[in-house]
Amino acid sequence: MVGVTTTAVWDDLLVGDELAHLGREAAREARPAPLPDSLQPAVRDALAGRGIGELYAHQAEAYEAASRGGNVIVTTGTASGKTLAFNLPVLDALAADRHARALYLYPTKALAQDQARSLGELGVAGVRAAIYDGDTPTERRRQIRGWANLVLTNPDMLHIGVLPRHDLWGDFLHNLRFVVVDEAHVYRGVFGSHVANVLRRLRRLARIYGAEPQFLLASATIANAGELAHALTGEEATVVEDDAAPRAERTVALWNPPLLDEELGLRASALGEASRLLAGLTGRGLRTICFTKSRKSAELIHRFAVDRLDAATAARLAPYRAGYTPQQRREIERRLVEGDLLGVTSTDALELGIDIGDLDCAISVGFPGTVASLRQQWGRAGRRGHGLAILVASEDALDQYFMREPPALLERRVEAAILDHANPRVLDGHVAAAAFEAPVDEGDAETLGPEALERAPHVPELRHTPRGWVWAGTDAPAPRVPLRSTSPDAFLVVDASTGDVLGLAERERAFSTVHEGAVYLHLGRQYLVRELDLEARRALVEPFGGDWYTQAKKETETSIEEPLRGERRLGLELSFGRVSVTEHVVAYQKKAVADGATLDTVPLDLPPTTFDTEAVWFVPRPHQLEGLEAMPLLLSSLHAAEHSLIALLPLWAMCDRWDIGGLSTNLHLDTGAPTVFVYDGHAGGVGIAARGFEQFEGWVADTVRLLEGCPCERGCPSCVQSPKCGNLNEFLDKAGALTLLSRMSNSG
């Protein structure tokens, strides 16, 4: 079938102005490799039992790299057999040596369960796998520690439950041969920066118990797999990226809802378009999954699609939610696999690898934030035969950029998973935790990193003794270090109707995201904040069904604390360094979901907050600002440039635009000139601004194309407007921003 384009049943659906791009990814033959001769008979037998008589070349490559004793990161495509690539060396080692132990790390409990199930099905003699997480009953824990030679857990449990109690794990650590880190790209940003320290603590303890485990990582396709492996573990890794799995032909469609108002840049609803496609595809008998960002959208698309179909077909559609019990999930999965269900709408809870069988079509409604996520969603389409993958664009700038520049989405590989384990706001807690686990001395610089030793004198409750830095506090420090925040004094977000803790809001951002009256989104569900208790650092929320969202109005100031790098780039002085950001949330607006109209402005009485972070900033040269010097045009042009730059940075650094802040001013006190700042929204910084500094030329060039291509006249949500602007999108000049950024780009 290679090279032959077939006509498909969906061809007549994919027509009209909405079709922004129609492409095809050719089928690919597998490149097999024989099972390694050195494989243990028990593993060979188990594979034979599952009908596996040979490998794909990349699996064999990973096995060989692991056999040489080094670390490995496998970063091949969705459904390419990454799991077997890391399982093989591990199972082989466990089968060969009854003392050997392996630890598997999964970001969620559900993924650990899936992996445990497939290991069980594989049934290699001598392999005793068990899950050890927060749900494991206390009486079972001891038994697992003694019995299992393959333990599946998550970073939180490792951080709080295993490492601080390493005396209970002595035998396990002494024999630890392999640490598997699956879905490694998930460990980025704040979470990744913490996990990188947890893994360093694990390496140190293993060494104390006499073991040097090998790390085997698997990641979605990203630009910097080797760099990510190094950042996470502190050690080099061999990158295995040459995907040898077969692939069926896939049609890729980019679908843009029609423009209703060109001047305002207003488009028809992505939900309506998605339901039309879902109904069209399921109506042709095609098994289709539709991914959305919120539960509400998933329900609406389901409802709209049902309205378009005859009763018999409509009955074969279902929504799928993260909140389902495992039994409900399995039931839906079973019905999908058997073909009883035709269409499922889901939030991206399904995205992380859980297997629901082979579908014909996948529709992503709104860019899910990273190319890696989109690829995972699309990877469900057409695993066996010709598949169809569609992205339905939202009005968001990045979505619209992709509609006009398909190669930016489909052909380039620029997205990098970044983290910074040395951020003191992250590191200090782990230095304390490490000292609690065993005294920290100079020799630990090899595993914990030299930065840990540098921070030790600054960590309260550590005391320097002849044995090294020791913990002098009372209780264990690890539980006080949340892995998803850079501030230990984060606000808890609590559902007042159930008492459940939904999550954490970092102190720096709490006032703009969970102030009283804010609409808060969690796992695709909406909540209304009833009360923000500054003393108790707690936001009480309740489920919310209203049709407005909120946007905080805030005043921001920055001051440059320490420039770290300065380079002549794009005709100007580009800087990277540490800045201090002060934000004062003064009011919020209620805005209609339907059209973004302002319903109300409510003043707030909150104190200002200040935090240190990292920023990239630039001072345009006079000739780059020629004709834009008059106020307020100058400020409006810089402000619009700042917004559009922020909109496109997530394409380079895997993050959310909510992870990035910005400030533009016609006169900055520290530079004495008009200046644009783009800063890391997390205290201390996690590498986002640094990535912007490194990739400045490509980043600015993308932003120029975004502004050039947007069909609106004077700026719209798809180019210069920002859903999180503290000035509520006042003073934005699209033409001025384009003039400035093109002049910069042309001087590169």
Interface residues with Zn ion (CB under 5 A) are 265, 710, 712, 716, 718-719, 725, 727
Min CB(734)–Zn ion separation in Å: 7
DSSP result, 610-646: EEEEEEEEEE--GGGGTT--STTHHHHHHHHHHHHHH
**Alpha-helical regions (H) of 339-423:** 371-378, 397-404, 406-410
Q: Which is nearer to Zn ion, 719 or 740 (CB)?
A: 719
Burial 426-439 (b: 16+ CB within 10 A, else e): bbbbbbbbbbbbbb
Min CB(680)–Zn ion separation in Å: 17
Min CB(285)–Zn ion separation in Å: 39
Q: Which is nearer to Zn ion, 265 or 387 (CB)?
A: 265
CA 332, distance to chain mean position in Å, is 26
Min CB(185)–Zn ion separation in Å: 30
Q: How many CB atoms lie within 10 A of CB 442?
A: 9
Min CB(727)–Zn ion separation in Å: 5
Min CB(711)–Zn ion separation in Å: 7
Q: Which is nearer to Zn ion, 65 or 737 (CB)?
A: 737
**Sign of the C-alpha dihedral, residues 23, 707, 276, 382?**
positive
Do residues 421 and 43 touch, judged by C-beta distance below 8 A? no
The CA R_g of the chain, rounded to the nearest whole Å, is 26
* CA–CA distance, 219 with 225 (Å, rounded to integer): 7
* CA–CA distance, 6 with 386 (Å, rounded to integer): 9
Residue 1 carries which DSSP code?
-
Q: Which is nearer to Zn ion, 252 or 660 (CB)?
A: 660
Q: Which is nearer to Zn ion, 89 or 265 (CB)?
A: 265
**Length of the chain measured in residues:** 748
Q: Which of 403, 409, 407 is nearest to 257 (CA)?
A: 403
* CA–CA distance, 298 with 276 (Å, rounded to integer): 13
Q: Which is nearer to Zn ion, 113 or 727 (CB)?
A: 727
Q: Which is nearer to Zn ion, 408 or 528 (CB)?
A: 408
Min CB(508)–Zn ion separation in Å: 17
Q: Which is nearer to Zn ion, 626 or 730 (CB)?
A: 730
**Which residue do the tokens 């899910």 mark?**
368
Q: Say whether 200 sits in a helix, a strand or coil.
A: helix
Q: How many CB atoms lie within 10 A of CB 259?
A: 16
Q: Which is nearer to Zn ion, 490 or 725 (CB)?
A: 725
Return the percent helix, strand and coil in the chain, to nearest 5.
Answer: 40, 25, 35
Min CB(487)–Zn ion separation in Å: 24
Question: Alpha-carbon dihedral of residues 43, 47, 49, 50, nearest 10 degrees?
Answer: 150
Q: Which is nearer to Zn ion, 395 or 415 (CB)?
A: 395
**Sign of the C-alpha dihedral, residues 397, 399, 405, 407?**
positive
Q: Which is nearer to Zn ion, 199 or 719 (CB)?
A: 719
Q: Which is nearer to Zn ion, 629 or 730 (CB)?
A: 730
Min CB(273)–Zn ion separation in Å: 19
Min CB(581)–Zn ion separation in Å: 14
* CA–CA distance, 160 with 167 (Å, rounded to integer): 14
Min CB(317)–Zn ion separation in Å: 35
Q: Which is nearer to Zn ion, 478 or 719 (CB)?
A: 719
Q: Which is nearer to Zn ion, 8 or 725 (CB)?
A: 725
Min CB(722)–Zn ion separation in Å: 6
Min CB(708)–Zn ion separation in Å: 11
Min CB(568)–Zn ion separation in Å: 28
Min CB(265)–Zn ion separation in Å: 4
**Sign of the C-alpha dihedral, residues 37, 39, 41, 44?**
negative
Omega within 30 of 0 (cis) for the link into 632: yes
**Sign of the C-alpha dihedral, residues 221, 224, 230, 233?**
negative
Q: Say whether 395 sits in a helix, a strand or coil.
A: coil
Q: Which is nearer to Zn ion, 100 or 716 (CB)?
A: 716
Q: Say whether 398 sits in a helix, a strand or coil.
A: helix
**Cα dist. 476→164, 201, 471 in Å?**
7, 15, 9
* CA–CA distance, 644 with 649 (Å, rounded to integer): 9
Q: Which of 250, 376, 400 is nearest to 712 (CA)?
A: 400
Do residues 32 and 57 touch, judged by C-beta distance below 8 A? yes
